[in-house]
Amino acid sequence: MKSYNSFQVAQNQIRKASSILNLNQATVDLLSWPQREFAFTLPVKMDDGSSQVFQAYRIQYNTARGPAKGGIRFHQDETVDIIRALACWMALKTAVVDLPLGGGKGGVVCDPRRFSERELERISRAYIRASAPYLGIDKDIPAPDVYTNPQIMAWMMDEYETIIQRHHPGVLTDKPMQIGGTEGRRDATARGGVITVREACKTLKLDPTGTFAIQGFGNAGQRAALLHQEMLGGGKLVGVCDSKGGLYNPRGIDVKELVTYKLKTGSVLNFPGAKAVHRDSILELEVDVLYPAALENAISHLNAKDIKAKIVCELANGPTTPEADILLNEKGIHVIPDILASAGGVTVSYFEMVQDGTLDFWEEHVVHARMDKKLTKAYQTVQEAIREKKVHPRLAATIVGVARIAEACELRGWV
Ligand code: GLU
């Protein structure tokens, strides 16, 4: 089976977009590599008194448009190249939605499901002690990603403020509301995705209340299931899976009951309202909308020809391989690429930074309305690039992002 180096994939995307934009070689070289990379070795005390040592990273891919911005993952399979790719996609994502930010990403190589709450707190604080000199609202602003959450952000912010001896809540986003978080951040990634699906349905003249399936039932997947029905006026969830298994019910799965079940048991496995199926089969269901909401490379040359959805809305980062992109495009499937479809999260993170900076906190409807405006505009900009450059949606979105980053680099006199 073919294995993918996500960073090589990201570099190829940058080079392809740059060549269509006729960028000069220095710009291509600059955009093909991270501006700054930090590697840390973190010794952490475990509950049983032993010490464990973790590898960790923070990568600031490009800061021409603003400070680096992007999540921190806790995952056992993390590598420096995965973080580089994710940091690159963050730089593109913030540019596609036109936020005054750059892109970055971080990670700790660990399986957080094996640790107690106190151990997770010590890992989180150790990460900030190592990275604090390179963070700040004017340098680099982390947020949650896979297996990290607002509680982890709270510990991290506290550690950072303890080090610098003053309040600086904007150093991290997606914090709990009580300590500088914003309304509307928890469901922002999913909400942004559903907004782009709403726009795609208009483009395709498709009734949005048909069927949908979700691959990955973490924060983004769960919220997308709820919001798809709420915001689009209905829709039947016929298939869903998480890392442990899949569920199928052609008559529709009760989303609220499933979310409650998942929160209680930690998985969708054995949910009584649907038939158990192999988790990979969820991607191949005949549905109107498919939301890949798990990890990288879920849709590859192995299964792309079996994808039957009319719209693929990528809530995960990098779920589709380059070969699969071409196959999906040939099949006429309307792909909403990750750097657009999943940009709602970082958009509301940016709103959180603005509110932390001004101490003026917005009502939920204001956050929703402002995000909707940003995402709708970004969707239309990418559609225009698809028509103008005659390329598939991911390349079109990459072209929009690369053009904006390159312009900033040029204005600064870097290239
Ligand atoms: N981890 C999220 C993403 O991949 C959010 C990043 C952020 O809010 O900075 O888009």
pLDDT digits (tens, 9 = 90+) for 298-348: 999 999 999 999 999 999 999 999 999 999 999 999 999 999 999 999 999
pLDDT digits (tens, 9 = 90+) for 381-406: 999 999 999 999 999 999 999 999 99
Residue 122 to residue 74: CA distance in whole angstroms: 13
**Longest pairwise C-alpha distance within the chain:** 61
Closest ligand 1 atom to the C-alpha of 343? 10
Residue 308 to residue 319: CA distance in whole angstroms: 16
Residue 293 to residue 190: CA distance in whole angstroms: 9
Pairing of strands 236-242, 245-248: antiparallel
Cα 2 to averaged position of ligand 1 atoms, centre (Å): 28
Beta-carbon contacts of 4 under 8 Å, excluding residues fewer than 6 positions away, are: 296, 297, 300, 321
Q: Say whether 190 sits in a helix, a strand or coil.
A: helix
Beta-carbon contacts of 366 under 8 Å, excluding residues fewer than 6 positions away, are: none
Closest ligand 1 atom to the C-alpha of 144? 1
**Cβ of 318 less than 6 Å from ligand 1:** no
Q: Is the pLDDT of residue 163 over 90?
A: yes
Pairing of strands 68-75, 51-62: unpaired
Look at residues 166, 78, 143, 152 and name the one whose alpha carbon lies nearest to residue 115.
152
Domains, the chain: 33-178 (3.40.50.10860), 182-415 (3.40.50.720)
Residue 157 to residue 179: CA distance in whole angstroms: 9
Residue 360 to residue 223: CA distance in whole angstroms: 27
Q: Is the pLDDT of residue 262 over 80?
A: yes
Candidate list 69, 93, 105, 310, residue with the active-site label: 105
Look at residue 295 in the predicted model and tell me its pLDDT: 85
Look at residues 1, 52, 21 and name the one whose alpha carbon lies nearest to residue 399.
21
Beta-carbon contacts of 115 under 8 Å, excluding residues fewer than 6 positions away, are: 123
Beta-carbon contacts of 118 under 8 Å, excluding residues fewer than 6 positions away, are: 47
Structure tokens at 130: 């190592």
Query: CA distances (Å), 302 to each of 2, 311, 327, in order?
Result: 9, 19, 10
pTM value is 0.95
Look at residue 3 in the predicted model and tell me its pLDDT: 74
Look at residue 1 in the predicted model and tell me its pLDDT: 53
Residue identified by tokens 């003053």 is 166
Is there a contact between 302 and 278 (Cβ–Cβ < 8 Å)?
no
Cα 51 to averaged position of ligand 1 atoms, centre (Å): 30
Share of the chain above pLDDT 90, in %: 97
**pLDDT averaged over the chain?**
97
**Cβ of 70 less than 6 Å from ligand 1:** yes
